Amino acid sequence: MKTLRRLSCLAGMLLLPSLFAPLGADARPLPAGSLAPLSSLLMPLPSVVGAHLIMSRLSSAPQHARAGHVYVLHGSVVNDGSAAARGPVVVHLLRVGTRPLAIGRTVVGLAAHDSTDVGVRIRLPRGLHNGSYTLVACVQRAGRSGKLGCVTAERHLQIGPRSRTRAARVSAAAPSAACSSGAHSLSPFGAHVYPETGNGGYTSLHTDVYLNYDTASNLFLPGTHVVLSNQATQCLTDFSLDFERTSPNTKDGPDLTVGSVLVNGQPASFTFVQPTYPGDPNGQNDPDPRAHEAGQLNPVGGPDNNPLPPACSPELLSTNPNKQFDLDGTQCPANKLVITPSSAIPSGASFVVEVDYTGRPGVHNDGDGTTEGWFRISQQNDAGGFVTTEPVATEDWMPLNNHPSSKPTYDFYDTVPLGKTAIGNGELVSQLANLPDANFPGGSTTWHWHSPEGIASYLVENSIGSYDLSVRLSSSGIQYYEAQDLAIPKPKAAANKAIMDMQEDILNFQSAFNGTYPFTTDGVVIGVPAASFEEEMQTKITFANGKIDLQTLHHENMHQWWGDNVSEANYNLTFFKEGLATLGEYFFIAANAQAAAGGSAAAFEQSLVNTFNTVYAGSDLLWTGAPSDPRPYTLFSGSKTYRRPGIAYIALRLILGPANFNAAFQQIQSTYRQWSVSEAQLESAFESFLPVPSASCRARLGQFFTEWWDTVYPPGGGANRPQITGPGLDGGGFHC
């Protein structure tokens, strides 16, 4: 969700005094090197006053471990505090939706600034249900009191057959045919919202990110590289990635250099080319310069009246609406990294790509003039990077298949200066110390984070700096991570933490609508850069400007189901997930109304009706553009992307009935888990839950979707807006 602050006016519009009342796989191996445990998990300082125990690593259970059997896990414990400590190491067995089980325990005693290896005997309970389980080892900071210092075993424990969900999502390989280039875009012909992103001819399966990052200089040092595991869906002579090495924003944009590329361990040639508009009949190397121009609309237009669709969205340096078309008709930058392996890759074959690069990560200027990506932190005693991206700026700090429908799993191996903390998606596996070397003369720490779930391109999180990071285990089997930049004043940090601590309650509240939480972790990262938006980074929601608010946390946490687990098939469907996250805010407002009315369910429902009627009577801006057909400048418009689809879901809930609406939500979450959904698929899923599935009702619902999502109305409101609403709502209701 981008620029949500434009939506905050809704609170005043609804005049609700209680608005902000609270509501009750397999990882890749670490590269070889001289490593030893080091503390910096919960307080990223070389030394801490008092005892300070943490776990720094934990081995995995045997790959074919069985319920009822006994195993020994090995790990390391560190005390980087100034006092000796003694306390238990407890290994927990976690599964989302069930209470954690303590399955092993030992006791360690450590002097100040000491570490030790431990072995913990665990017994897997009999009668475990089939599924994936997480093994988490924890110690308490002071030995027998204080916050937890935990790590997660690198490989999950699998009981019974492995889920086929992700395997089923790999695109079928094309029949054997002549080899050719992979597509340089995943957008359809005529697309005009970031059509330059995404790459075809293969499916992205897993990505290992190895960053050697110097926080003081904001530079990726030698040894920085990504390893991308893919499966070809056609016979490939060459293929592409997205990587913005430089940008017109010379101050804050990237300045990166590719050193080498390997495919299956063999050197590969590479070059950078401009994108071509998707579906160009003259091919991706069309010599016509007009085939490579930027534009807000289709056709490009511009000074020379280009009649072709745009090849990319413009990178505006200003948010001034009078300048939104200034770059239409200019040439797109050469951000497509085209790789030619030493021999063709057969259809259906797995292949591994390694790209080595160095330089300065940075931000991307979007088609609305705002920036996103790697925000540098450069303050006294506080240096590093804060990563918050949407829709495309992951390519400004790493090469990847940059499209929301591309969702590989991830491992992050971030090597950073001693005392700095790295935060990635998913679970913390280890933090290990490295001896001083040429990159880090003062020593360094390698942080390993693992995401067993696939991540859409714009949701990849990797902030590095001076963060206070903590973790806790919930009664529902989910690990909650909380991180704040240490530069945030203590009173503000305490207020932030009070809101972050509500995330578990928010998740439980939203699970009643969406079903089981789809990830093993959740969390919040609060940074200090003045980014213009908050973001639903998968399992690590980011808040900028050193502050968090409760209503926005409801919005972003709703995204963990909508946008993160089930992603949009293309950028024009941003409204689908932003509307649902906005509905999460409306549910929050309704819950406050219910609490104020002594728990009345009728008050909850009336609040939603009031919200609908208030927004429905609002500005012409809601109706004079179609949510499903934005341009880059209006992609994150508060009215068309957030509020209009948000109240459409309120109407849809009344059309289907609350129980059917929730059932539809949960069915979509199951059917499209870890993947993406199209508008047609979404509409079909909701249609299947119509209480009266007659032909006339199905046709009426189809008209409802067209009016709310796809129709541009003349100014004026009234009759110039959707007329099909829902039972008990202003407008024409729903009759079939």
What pTM was computed for the model? Answer: 0.93
The band of 194, judged by pLDDT with boundaries at 50, 70 and 90, is very high
Helix, strand or coil, per DSSP, at residue 101 = strand
Which ranges of 444-563 does DSSP label H, i.e. alpha helix? 490-500, 503-514, 550-558
- Whose CA is closest to 279, among 305, 306, 311, 304? 311
CA distance 517 to 501: 17
Q: Residue 434: how many CB atoms within 10 A of its CB?
A: 19
- Terminal Cα-to-Cα distance of the chain (whole angstroms): 35
pLDDT band at 142 (very low <50, low <70, confident <90, very high): confident
Residue type, 180: S
CB contact set of 164 (below 8 Å; sequence gap of 6+): none
Q: Is 578 left (phi over 0), alpha (psi -120 to 50) or beta?
A: alpha
Q: What is the pLDDT of residue 141?
A: 80
Q: Is residue 384's pLDDT more than 60?
A: yes
The pair of three-digit structure tokens given for residue 126, joined into one six-digit string:
């009999």
- Assess whether pLDDT exceeds 60 at residue 169: no
Distance (Å) of CA 535 to CA 198, 252, 338, 367: 21, 19, 30, 18
What mean pLDDT comes out for the span 654-673?
Answer: 98
Whole-number pLDDT of residue 172? 60
Of the candidate ranges 192-196, 478-482, 531-535, 564-568, the one whose mean pLDDT is the lowest? 531-535
- Domains detected in the chain: 4-23+568-710 (1.10.390.10), 35-163 (2.60.40.10), 166-465 (2.60.40.1730)
- pLDDT of amino acid 36: 39
What pLDDT is attached to residue 49? 84
Mean pLDDT to the nearest integer, 252-277: 98
pLDDT in tens, 606-630: 999 999 999 999 888 899 999 999 9
How high is the pLDDT of residue 491?
98
**Cβ density class 484-509: b for 16+ within 10 Å, e for less:** bbbbbeeeebeebbebbebbbebbbb
Tokens 């809101």 belong to residue? 499
List, in order, residues 6 or more apart from 548 with CB less than 8 Å away: 496, 499, 500, 524, 526
DSSP string, 604-634: HHHHHHHHHHHHHTS-GGGTSS-TTS--GGG
Q: In which band, very low, low, confident or very high, does the pLDDT at 315 lie, cut at 50, 70 and 90?
A: very high
Query: What totals of helices (H) and strands (E) does the chain contain, helices first?
Result: 11, 33
Provide the token pair at 553.
Answer: 């946390």
User: In terms of C-beta density within 10 A (0-12 exposed, 13-18 middle, 19 or more buried), how is residue 685 classed?
Assistant: middle
Output the pLDDT for position 10: 42
From 2-6, 358-362, 501-505, 605-609, the region with the lowest mean pLDDT: 2-6
Convert the pLDDT of each residue in 320-341 to its tens digit.
Answer: 999 999 999 999 999 999 999 9
Residue 162: what pLDDT? 77
Instruction: Determine the Cα–Cα distance for residues 381 and 368; give it in Å rounded to an integer.
Output: 33
The region that residue 585 occupies, defined by phi over 0 for left and psi between -120 and 50 for alpha, beta otherwise, is alpha
Task: Indicate the range of 29-43, 124-138, 403-417 predicted with least confidence.
Answer: 29-43
- Degrees to nearest 5, angle at CA 554 with 551 and 556: 110
The encoded tokens of residue 107 equal 């006791």
